[in-house]
Structure 1
Amino acid sequence: MTTKTSVMRAEIAEQPEALRRTFSELLPLRKEIEALGRETEHVLFIARGSSDNAAVYGGYLLQVHTGRLATLGSPSVATVYGSRLDLSKVLAVAISQSGKTEEIVDTMRWAADCGARTVAVTNGADSTLAEEADVALVTRAGKELAVPATKTYNTQLAALAVLALGLGAKLDPGELELVPQGIEETLAAPTDALEEIVERMVAVQGAVISGRGLAFSTALEAALKLKEACYTHAMGMSYADLLHGPIAVVDPRTPTLLMAAPDGPTLQGTVALAERARSAGSPVFGFGGGEALAAASDLSVPVPDVPEWVSPMNLIVPAQLLTERLARRLGYDPDVPRGLNKVTQTS
């Protein structure tokens, strides 16, 4: 096990201030977002990797709280097939931490050419993505050096929360202030449960990570982090999809990691899944979910009690900490996973 402090761990700790800066920068842009909203009806997200997981959060948030249909785009429709679509009533939201991923830039250009209005969510203030969008939501994460995205991912969630407010979500903007406070609490909390989860995952080859609704994005991102930095065969799924067959992989050799807000309409189903996984002999590790999920889990990591719509920004932090600790426990460098670069180019 390596003992040096990783860049990834330092960047996880920078998230409270990164979120505060991002909220301060972006909340004044709600009027500009509102103006785009008056011209459009539906939302198309354009993203890859961690940004795609952020888009899953954005999709649920908009559909649940603004009444707008929101969907994940398939960039290959534009970049490989060269298809033409009528996007005249669409708000295309392109998400890229660098703003330099050519596929995302090209797809946003294609969407605009098809009649869409455009929003960029990026940490690259001077990037092509920011410069060409109708409205640029530039996050203030600061430079991110570790390859696994932590603070850039979470500030993307922050930007999408502001987007929802600008598009008419009847939510309290003041509740955003709870997010950085909650992360500070998580970073300062005892780590006994997290360390035990790390030890119990050292010898496993695969894991199931699940959540539903607004927490589904967290399950996907947690699975991606474990694959990137720990080389774990981690499967991130909605628990509804998990029950449609893949639940068969859950056994004593395959831990089940469950993500849930402290309350909300998906919590009961998450608790039921925990009970089913335990009955199959799977070690169950709960993240969030309040007392109900903790009682149904073998080990649990509490998350501050915040409203469901902002909880993914808090929920992802213990998963990031788990990834960083597990990577070092396995002898890997979490900052530079093999075969990966900070900016990935696809076509």
Structure 2
Amino acid sequence: MCGIVAYIGKRSAYPVIVKGLKRLEYRGYDSAGIALLNEDLNIYKKQGKVAQLEEFTIGKDLSGSIGIGHTRWATHGEPCDKNAHPHRSSNGKLAMIHNGIIENYTQLKGELLKKGYEFESDTDTEVLLKFIEDIQKNNQCPLEEAVRIALKRVVGAYVIILLDKDNPDTLIAARKGSPLVIGIGKGEHFLASDASPIIEYTKEVVYVNDYELAIVKADELILKNLGNEKVTPFIQKLDMELAAIEKGGYDHFMLKEINEQPDTIHDCLRGRLDAQHFNIRMAGIDKNIDKLINAQRIMIVACGTSWHAGLVAEYIIEDLCRIPVEVEYASEFRYRNPVIHPGDVIIAISQSGETADTMVAIEKAKEQGAVILGIVNQVGSSIARISDAGAYTHAGPEIGVASTKAFTAQLAVLTMVAMKIAESKGTLNSDKFKHLVQELNAIPEKVPAILAKSNELKALAEKYKDARDFLFLGRGLNFPVALEGALKLKEISYIHAEGYPAAEMKHGPIALVDENLPVVFVATKDAYYEKIVSNIQEIKARKGKVIAIVSEGDDVITKMVDDYFEVPEADETVAPMLSVIPLQLLAYYVGVAKGLDVDKPRNLAKSVTVE
């Protein structure tokens, strides 16, 4: 959840690191800091934004061509200057940044306190640093060896990077469960949580694996495992452009990413969906098609928005493939000792590909013989590498914390997976398959019609921005869309919002309905249409304010409700990719109307790499 950046080479390290930290601000954080090594080891850190760190460092010694930087999202200890990273060792020679959580830090801290160590912060990071320092002192060993010994005792997740005053030409880094990418330049190296701080300088990168240690010099990169055996770095080319992580004239990344969806859905389908010949080609699915069509059960594990995508997929897979599907929160799945049989298929969905709970969930399932399919956006991510097969969503970098384009890309991939399995299994007749191919292929062309009417949603946002609560309702495939709409509004506007199946409204939530409660119905034309009309009448009978997302040309619901927004007609299987977009825009405009930072909502992080 934190952001880390480090540099070693010929440039001045400070501007490279600060710019990198700004590129990582989307991940969510509450303090920032930097350590630079020159004649001395200088550490500067400050609660607040990177801009406040920059202001704090005015007039300070910022020289040096090696350094480490960090943005912290508080876990152990409140957000404040002393708890910000980097931390310094007791002897003053080491500085360290850390992303992750050390679960046994209390035990380690107790041991160190008995030895006379004092602590300036409340963090688990300072404990790990001084544990490494203690090992180095007692064993009279190089820092690299001390790190290796320490990490064999550590329980938890981490990426750590250390500066050593005694070795001013070397960075030491290690990872387990949190991402680390190393950019390779000419006589320089760049280290970061993801590729966004790196693409400005190089497109050649190495993704460090779990339990690997990196010894990084300006002109040399050595990877080793914790057994001190050298590992050959696998160099990859970044498929990313600098423009993809810049606003491109939009006021916010979130608005840019919502407006990118015609392109991102098209990119997701391109090379896979052949509408001319009515064919779907997905290499990872094709290679494992026998396992998929013979699966007795499919389990989908995910968190947040990705979990909602999984709920949509549950409806589609069960309908088209006739395979039972269970959708699990990864955070619950990992702890509840689930029954998994060899041959069960686990679909793991994650925008970042680094979601900690999802990682642990699929590791456990894989140990029990399950087949793992990863649906991720980030190339080279941990989930992508641990999966047996899967598909990238090709949505491009998503900087806004609230996921938008990644969600619709996930739906596109999951729909193709379901159609591919159903076609191969024989549970989807040829005419229906061809129809769905055409319907899915048309989605990117229909999205601009929604975006062109965004001012209607801006007006709705102004009208309802002062509401204290919202209720989002839908049935069938529109139920997960309602959940996603409620989540977006909560994330961006801080308005309390609930998503419910419309039929469940009578089992509790209807008690909340009065003339002050806006109720958003996702009510596009589908098999549940007549039922949803009845549910709207129930709300109107209790004087609730109804906003409806309807199909173009609807002449029934539009006459019943207070406000409505039309989306192009589409087969109900693919309609969620359209009906969710006005909900994204509504949340965005409400947040803007309330004067909030919609790209970086409070307390949230983009990549949740801790529990």
TM-score bucket (shorter structure): over 0.9
Aligned counterpart, 1:148: 402
Q: Which runs of 5+ in 2 are unaligned?
A: 1-249, 273-279
In structure 1, distance between residues paired with 2:303 and 2:330:
9
Deviation per residue, 1:120-149 (Å, 9 max, x gap)? 010011011111212121011100111010
Provide the secondary structure at the position in 2 that maps to 1:287: strand
Deviation per residue, 1:150-179 (Å, 9 max, x gap)? 001110111110111122063322221121
Aligned counterpart, 2:255: 9
Aligned counterpart, 1:272: 534
Aligned 8 A contact 2:257 2:398 in 1:
yes
In structure 1, distance between residues paired with 2:537 and 2:588:
28
Q: Which moved more, 1:313-322 or 1:104-113?
A: 104-113
Aligned 8 A contact 1:259 1:289 in 2:
no
Aligned 8 A contact 1:267 1:289 in 2:
no
| Percentage identity across paired residues of the two chains | 27
Q: CA RMSD in A?
A: 1.8
In structure 2, distance between residues paired with 1:12 and 1:209:
20
Aligned counterpart, 1:101: 355
Aligned CA distance change for structure 1 residues 289 and 267 (closer, same or farther; 3 Å):
farther
Deviation per residue, 1:43-75 (Å, 9 max, x gap)? 100000000010110011111222111111243
Choose 1 or 2 for highest CA Rg.
Answer: 2
Provide the secondary structure at the position in 2 that maps to 1:302: strand
How far did residue 39 of structure 1 move? 3.6
How far did residue 196 of structure 1 move? 3.3
After TM superposition, list the pairs within 5 Å mapping 1:119-158 onto structure 2.
119-158=373-412
After TM superposition, list the pairs within 5 Å mapping 1:111-126 onto structure 2.
111-126=365-380
Task: Check if 1:247 corresponds to 2:527.
Answer: no
Aligned CA distance change for structure 1 residues 65 and 102 (closer, same or farther; 3 Å):
same
Aligned counterpart, 1:45: 300
How far did residue 344 of structure 1 move? 1.6
Which of 297, 303, 313 aligns to 1:58? It is: 313
Aligned 8 A contact 1:63 1:69 in 2:
yes
Aligned CA distance change for structure 1 residues 238 and 78 (closer, same or farther; 3 Å):
closer
Aligned CA distance change for structure 1 residues 138 and 258 (closer, same or farther; 3 Å):
same
Deviation per residue, 1:300-337 (Å, 9 max, x gap)? 10010111000000011111111111110011111110
Aligned CA distance change for structure 1 residues 312 and 78 (closer, same or farther; 3 Å):
closer
In structure 1, distance between residues paired with 2:504 and 2:289:
34
Aligned counterpart, 2:549: 287
Aligned 8 A contact 2:551 2:569 in 1:
no
Deviation per residue, 1:232-251 (Å, 9 max, x gap)? 11000111222212111111
Task: Check if 1:215 corresponds to 2:478.
Answer: yes
Letter in 1 for 2:287: E
Aligned 8 A contact 2:291 2:343 in 1:
no
Task: Check if 1:182 corresponds to 2:446.
Answer: yes
Structure with larger RCO (C-alpha < 8 A, sep 6+): 1
In structure 1, distance between residues paired with 2:340 and 2:396:
37
Task: Check if 1:308 corresponds to 2:554.
Answer: no
Letter in 1 for 2:307: D
Letter in 2 for 1:318: P
Aligned CA distance change for structure 1 residues 76 and 145 (closer, same or farther; 3 Å):
closer
In structure 1, distance between residues paired with 2:571 and 2:447:
14
Aligned CA distance change for structure 1 residues 294 and 87 (closer, same or farther; 3 Å):
farther
Aligned 8 A contact 2:288 2:389 in 1:
yes
Aligned counterpart, 1:166: 420
Aligned counterpart, 1:197: 460
How far did residue 41 of structure 1 move? 2.1
More strand, by proportion: 2
Letter in 1 for 2:270: S
Q: TM (normalized to structure 2)? A: 0.54
In structure 2, distance between residues paired with 1:259 and 1:72:
21
Aligned 8 A contact 1:123 1:140 in 2:
yes
Aligned 8 A contact 1:33 1:167 in 2:
no
Aligned 8 A contact 2:307 2:329 in 1:
no
In structure 2, distance between residues paired with 1:179 and 1:38:
27
How far did residue 87 of structure 1 move? 2.3
Aligned CA distance change for structure 1 residues 295 and 211 (closer, same or farther; 3 Å):
same
Letter in 2 for 1:10: K
Which of 19, 23, 28 aligns to 2:281? It is: 28
How many equivalent pairs are there? 342
Aligned CA distance change for structure 1 residues 196 and 280 (closer, same or farther; 3 Å):
farther
Letter in 1 for 2:485: A
Aligned 8 A contact 2:521 2:547 in 1:
yes
